[in-house]
Structure 1
Amino acid sequence: MAIHQTQQQLDDGRPVPDPEGRGPVAGPHDGAGTGVRQHPEPDARQRPSALEQAGGVRGLIYSALPVLAFVIGNSIGGLKTAIIAALALSVVIAAERLFRKESIMPAVGGVFGVAIAAGISWWTGSAKDYFLIGIWSNLAAALVFGISVLARRPLAGILWNSMTGKGTAWQQDRRSRRDFSIATLVLTVIFAARFAVQQYLYVADEVGTLGTAKIIMGYPLLGVGLLAVAWAARSSHRRLNAGKR
């Protein structure tokens, strides 16, 4: 009798009581019709963006403050004061980030970068050498990005698609390679311009102007480059998806 009643409930699409007392089991018309209780899947957590990984807008501002402290300290009390000011401010910023439970990498990386730059400046005895690593890093980046375009492996496309898990399908699409090549060239020009301007100011021993140029030509120009990469990525994604239909 009980088996007949249960079968009738299943045929009618009504929930069937669970013999273990855990509530009704879904019938054939509930969910996928398998008779198994359906559980909503938890929302997938979004991957943090590059800006979030860098500490957000606050993190971008914080990255410029040690440079500003170094320039002001050097103009007021000389190299020693500049180094102390930059290091002290970078430690304070790192502590504030950790207190706010932000990503630890920008905090540690900020202190480490300032310490290396300050160490080189202290070793050479010249305030302008605080900017030496950044200047030559820009030249290296310009060469690497430029060569990747000549090799038909635009680095902007490789980095973007590797970070987003899009694979290598874009490399088989001629227009995608072209768009990412344009974005890579934009980044090449940005890095080359940074090197040219800052190297000129370095040779001229313009420490104050060099610090200002580093801040102005830093994230604002990089933002322009990232917009070019985003344009190439959106164009490639739209075209590749259209080809799958």
Structure 2
Amino acid sequence: MSESSSTPEPSLAGSSPTEDAPDTQRPRMQEQTLLEQLGGVSGLAYSAVPIVVFVLVNSLSSLVPAIWAAMGVALLIAVIRVVRKEPLQPAISGVIGVAVCSYIAYRSGEAKGFFLLGIWTNLIYGGAFLASVVVRWPLVGVAWSALNSLGMGWRKQRKALVAYDIATVSWTAVFAAKYVVQQWLYAADETGWLAVARIAMGYPLTGLALIVTVWAVRRARQVAEEAAVQTAVSPGASPPRPDPSPG
């Protein structure tokens, strides 16, 4: 006689794609989900290609050819992603992002203008993440719950809230570091180093923030499961005492 090995377990706040998965598989599935929501590993790599092409062509030629080269590469990457049946949204976002950056560079007449959108985006994101911690609605928890169709019950659990606070602060630090370094290079007219900083700071810092985020998600799930177990026990109930009489 055998029992089913996949018994339902309490979720963070509602059902999720990882609810019925074994405990040993959940962390890995959570990491994959986070990467997919950022466009995947390939998406992170694709985002660096137009930047490299822009800087190289600008150094060898001029601004306008660099803009057209970056746009051409971005469109080519989008087509490749569509042909490979990868998620369409990151491909569209990549093309739009390169188009906006190229427009800013063209209007400013300076190659460093290509990086201005990213610099100010880091400042805005960093401020938003920090503000969310101050008002006790940490964006990491809000975003994770929204993207995975979970509720906001974790806000009533102090340990889960603190975990998401820590993860949100880690993203705040990432955005702040990017802004400070890249704004300094922008003011110094270091276009080449701007590209290096944009790529070099992107992968390591994002990876560290993702590690903290995965930890926060695991911690919030653990707290929710512990709370579910406690509520399953009747209040005031005590375990039965052993019978002292000889059997």
Question: What is the CA distance between 1:148 and its match in structure 2?
Answer: 1.1
Segments of structure 2 that go 5 or more residues without pairing to the other structure are 1-15, 19-28, 230-247
**Which one has the largest radius of gyration?**
1
**Identical aligned residues as a percent:** 42
Looking at both structures, which has the greater relative contact order when contacts are Cα pairs under 8 Å and sequence separation is at least 6? Answer: 2
The answer on 1:126 being equivalent to 2:106 is no
Which residue of 206, 209, 215 maps to 2:199? 215
Q: CA distance change for structure 1 residues 53 and 152 in 2, over 3 Å: closer, same or farther?
A: closer
The equivalent residue for 2:140 is: 156
Question: What is the CA distance between 1:166 and its match in structure 2?
Answer: 2.6
Which residue of 179, 187, 201 maps to 1:195? 179
Question: What is the CA distance between 1:200 and its match in structure 2?
Answer: 0.1
Amino acid at match of 1:146: L
Normalised by the length of structure 2, the TM-score is 0.77
Q: Deviations over 1:138-160 (max 9, x none)?
A: 00111111111111221111111
Which residue of 68, 80, 90 maps to 2:64? 80
Q: Deviations over 1:18-63 (max 9, x none)?
A: xxxxxxxxxxxxxxxxxxxxxxxxxx98898243355432222111
Question: What is the CA distance between 1:173 and its match in structure 2?
Answer: 0.8
Distance 1:53 1:143 in 2: 21
The answer on 1:175 being equivalent to 2:159 is yes
Distance 1:50 1:231 in 2: 12
Normalised by the length of structure 1, the TM-score is 0.77
The equivalent residue for 1:56 is: 40
How many aligned positions are there?
202
- Provide the secondary structure at the position in 2 that maps to 1:165: coil
The equivalent residue for 1:91 is: 75
Question: What is the CA distance between 1:202 and its match in structure 2?
Answer: 0.2
Distance 2:62 2:152 in 1: 52
> Contact between 1:53 and 1:103, CA under 8 Å: does it hold in 2?
no
Distance 2:159 2:60 in 1: 54
Say what the alpha-carbon RMSD is for the aligned residues.
1.9
Q: CA distance change for structure 1 residues 157 and 220 in 2, over 3 Å: closer, same or farther?
A: same
Amino acid at match of 2:82: L
